[in-house]
Amino acid sequence: MGYGVGEYVAATVAEVFSLEDGLKLLMESNSGEFERIAKQVIYSKPRIALVSSLTGELVTTQVATPEYWCYLVRQPVNFVGSMNNLAQQGYEILVEVGLVDTGCVEKAYFTSLHSDKDEWQQLLENLATLYVRGAKIDWLSFDRYYSRQRVQLPTYPWQRKRYWFGDSNYRKLERNSQSNGQSSTTKFIGQLDIKQLIEQLEINQELSPEELNLLPGLLELLTKQYQPQIEADKFIATTEIQQIHPKLLTAADIQAWLVEQIAKELGVKPEDINVRVPFDSYGLDSVLAIGIASAGKQFLGLDVSPLLLVHYPTIESLSQHLAKQLETSDSEIFEI
């Protein structure tokens, strides 16, 4: 359905006449000349349903005559009647190709343009509204020309806990964030195996060759920058070393340690960690995997590869595997 100039466009889409003939009628405002041109146009019966802006009814053969179009230019548009007729026929989604939003029907009414919004923004908002209303969207066609990457969302239900801070608590948190962040960075660099990190990144192809070439130099600079703090942390750690025979470490001990480490990395409570949920469900990437592997080497005295988190994808299975490795290990003293 169209009104005003839009009715000529609608008729062209319905193949009542060709685009060339439609432009001839659009360009002519003189009534006498318009009638002469209208009689020269070749008309056809509409190929799709077409509603007249004059009567508000579906048109068939009458629209394929010069008399209809000559009458159209002399009569007012019955826009409200046409829109209400569409609503009565069961059409629930109406799209206005233009800026006007009449709001004359209680249906899903969309405009393709908006005076205060970008064209694509308006269209995307219309698409989102349709999706919310239950319309089936062909997302594969929508994403055809865009580069997308699927991500895994957590499989556990949201906790729905509130974490609002008061003003004083927020300022205290802000003051402590820098020191805590520096401490975490220092700890990570101190445990870092640069060669192992680069090998892992090459396997995962997360960096380009040029970026991988720059990485050793950058890590060396970071190590030099934090070296005093790293040495201080090591000195403090040595004063708290306890010696435990490997036979005393059970799968349950290792599991508890892994839960504590992963909870610390993710910034969550240990009780929120499910030992049977895959590591990738928690969003663990290769850098975090290397950090956990490095910490595991210090705790267990074993060479713990980050790839173990792939072969044993849960805390429970990894703990059981490491416990079996301890049983066959020749190490006698572990530092934790």
Paired tokens of 179: 């020191």
How is the chain split into domains, by residue range?
Answer: 5-142, 167-335
Q: Report which DSSP code applies to 109.
A: E
Q: Is the C-alpha dihedral spanning 56, 62, 64, 69 positive or negative?
A: negative
Question: Cα–Cα distance between 248 and 246 in angstroms, integer?
Answer: 5
Q: Are 297 and 207 in contact (CB under 8 A)?
A: no
Q: State the DSSP H helix or E strand holding residue 95, giving kind and residue range, or none if neither.
A: strand 93-96
What is the reported pLDDT for 333? Answer: 38
Cα–Cα distances in angstroms (integers) from residue 307 to residues 18, 38, 148, 227, 285, in the given order: 66, 77, 27, 28, 11
Looking at residue 194, its pLDDT comes to 65
Assess if CATH 1.10.1200.10 describes domain 167-335: yes
pLDDT of residue 313: 87
DSSP label of 279: G
Provide the CATH number for the domain formed by 5-142 in this structure.
Answer: 3.40.366.10
Each of the 336 residues of the chain gets a pLDDT tens digit; together they read 888 888 999 999 999 999 999 998 887 767 788 889 999 999 999 999 888 888 778 888 999 999 999 988 888 888 778 888 888 888 878 888 877 655 555 567 788 888 888 888 988 998 998 898 888 889 888 888 888 777 776 666 666 565 565 554 445 445 544 444 445 555 555 555 666 767 777 777 777 778 778 777 777 776 676 666 555 555 444 444 344 555 577 888 888 888 888 888 777 888 888 888 888 777 766 777 777 788 777 777 777 788 888 888 888 999 899 888 888 875 443 333
Tokens of 22: 């439609």
H helices of the chain, where? 5-13, 19-27, 31-40, 66-72, 79-88, 119-132, 139-142, 167-191, 194-204, 209-238, 251-266, 286-300, 308-311, 315-328
Instruction: State residue 219's pLDDT score.
Output: 73
Tell me what pLDDT residue 296 has.
77
243 three-class SS: strand
Listed in sequence order, the residues at least 6 apart from 262 whose beta carbon sits closer than 8 Å to its beta carbon are 273, 279, 282, 284, 292, 315
The Cα-based distances of 280 to 150, 277, 283, 332, 334 in angstroms read 13, 9, 5, 33, 29
With the C-alpha atoms ordered 225, 194, 281, 326, is the resulting torsion angle positive or negative?
negative
Is there a common fold for 5-142 and 167-335? no
Amino acid at 300: L
Report residue 172: phi and psi, to 5°: -65, -40
